[in-house]
Amino acid sequence: MKTTDIATALAGKYPEWIVFVVTCDATGRVDLMPAGWCMVCSGEPPMLAVALGLGRHTRTVVEATGEFQIAFAGEGQREVVDFAGRCSGREVDKIAALGLRLSPGAATRVPLVEGCARSFECRLAGSLPSGDHVIYVGEILAAHVADPPVRNLVNFGGWYGPARAEE
Amino acid sequence: MKTTDIATALAGKYPEWIVFVVTCDATGRVDLMPAGWCMVCSGEPPMLAVALGLGRHTRTVVEATGEFQIAFAGEGQREVVDFAGRCSGREVDKIAALGLRLSPGAATRVPLVEGCARSFECRLAGSLPSGDHVIYVGEILAAHVADPPVRNLVNFGGWYGPARAEE
């Protein structure tokens, strides 16, 4: 192996998940942001962890409400990922701007977003500062999948698409 | 979307990374375990997070030494992933059993393992219990890539292979 700079080595990390962190603030306003730094972190109970940048509006809502949803982007949502990543829920009503259809969640106040491949309603279970992000751990309370099924949109390093294994 | 049980929805999470958490204990004994629950969690400084099961030997060594390495499995390492995941470093010298070649790290006592696609030497920066796992955050101190390059081995749900984007 050869030593290289960290950024170069990290550039080969892909494929990486693309999820939306969906929130609903105290006034009922729904927002979503795309995130790539997300993983399962417990089997029993089932839990997901996601790292959110220090400046993110979503962080404020997660901490205030104690709940969030991790929704895997569906293959038809490239535009949603790009738009939702370019602006902040502080200034823009992304749900309205994108014309996203919502339906009620089963276990939290956070609604489901049509077009996502799968959604996990989470209750905040812990957090850990890590550099310029904070890791939030959510216990999964309820899960939903697209019907009919939709493939996950996956990040290949600036290029998004469904993934398939190669020989 | 339709509500489903959590395990069914999580079964569609793939592709997922396959990394080795490589450790070196106080006596110099090197061990590695495969892990799938790993993500970047900071850009500046660069950091990685990995979730390790409560009963894992690797956890003991990470906590005792304060350092570990996250090495992305290379496409030729299916057998290493399977074997290293089936036994514990408590009982088995996996490095010897698998005949793995090691070379010195640049920033930690943890050596590099030939055949991996890319390796990140980390210093333990924090931890957070999460259900039946503990999340460990490592600040990346040095990075290495296979030379010549090797593709990452990716988990497609029990089936491993390099990933490619599909239209």
- Model pLDDT for residues A44-64, shown as the tens digit of each residue: 999 999 999 999 999 999 999
Read off the pLDDT of residues A75-115 as tens digits, 9 standing for 90 and up. Answer: 999 999 999 999 999 999 999 999 999 999 999 999 999 99
pLDDT of A167: 64
CA dist list (Å): B77 to B73, B96, B106: 6, 15, 23
Chain A residues in contact with B18 (beta carbon < 8 A)? none
Going from N- to C-terminal start, the domains of chain B cover 16-158
Cβ-nearest to A40 among B10, B46, B116: B10
Torsion sign across C-alpha atoms B90, B91, B92, B93: positive
CA dist list (Å): A104 to A27, A29, B108: 16, 13, 50
Cβ-nearest to A131 among B45, B127, B165: B45
Reported as a pLDDT band with limits 50, 70 and 90, residue A26 is very high
Residue A25 distance to chain B (closest CA, Å): 22
Q: Which residues of chain B have pLDDT under 50?
A: none
pLDDT at A40 over 90: yes
Count of pairs with CB atoms under 8 A, one residue in A, one in B? 234
Chain B residues in contact with A167 (beta carbon < 8 A)? 161
Residues B42, B45, B51, CA angle at the centre, nearest 5°? Answer: 45
Chain B residues in contact with A136 (beta carbon < 8 A)? none
Please judge whether B46 and A164 are an interchain contact, meaning their C-beta atoms are less than 8 angstroms apart.
Answer: no
Read off the pLDDT of residues A121-140 as tens digits, 9 standing for 90 and up. Answer: 999 999 999 999 999 999 99
Q: Which of A4, A8, A13, A134 to mutate to test the interface with B (most CBs of B within 10 A)?
A: A13
pLDDT of B165: 82
pLDDT of A164: 85
pLDDT of B158: 79
Structurally, at CATH architecture level, domain B16-158 sits in Roll (2.30)
Chain A residues in contact with B9 (beta carbon < 8 A)? 118-120, 143-145
Q: What is the 3-state secondary structure (H, E, C) of A52-83?
A: EECCCHHHHHHHHHCEEEEEECECCCHHHHHH
Chain B residues in contact with A69 (beta carbon < 8 A)? none
Q: What is the DSSP letter of A43?
A: T
Please judge whether A166 and B167 are an interchain contact, meaning their C-beta atoms are less than 8 angstroms apart.
Answer: no
Nearest CA to A70 out of A36, A104, A101, A95 is that of A36
pLDDT of A44: 98
Instruction: Please determine, looking at this structure, whether the domain spanning A15-157 carries the CATH number 2.30.40.10.
Output: no
pLDDT of A165: 82
pLDDT of B164: 85
Q: Are B121 and B141 in contact (CB under 8 A)?
A: yes
pLDDT of B167: 64
pLDDT of A125: 98
Cβ-nearest to A166 among B114, B131, B163: B163
Q: What is the DSSP letter of B157?
A: S
Please judge whether A42 and B5 are an interchain contact, meaning their C-beta atoms are less than 8 angstroms apart.
Answer: no
Would you call A90 exposed, middle or buried from its count of C-beta atoms within 10 A (0-12, 13-18, 19+)? exposed
Contacts of B105 (CB under 8 A, 6+ apart): B69, B111, B112, B121, B142
Residue A86 distance to chain B (closest CA, Å): 18
Nearest CA to A23 out of A122, A114, A115, A116 is that of A122
Per-residue buried b or exposed e for B21-57, using 16+ beta carbons within 10 Å of the residue's own CB:
bbbbeeeeebbbbbbbbbbbbbeeebbbbbbbbeebb
Mean pLDDT of all residues in chain A? 97
Chain A residues in contact with B43 (beta carbon < 8 A)? 131-133
Please judge whether B144 and A3 are an interchain contact, meaning their C-beta atoms are less than 8 angstroms apart.
Answer: yes
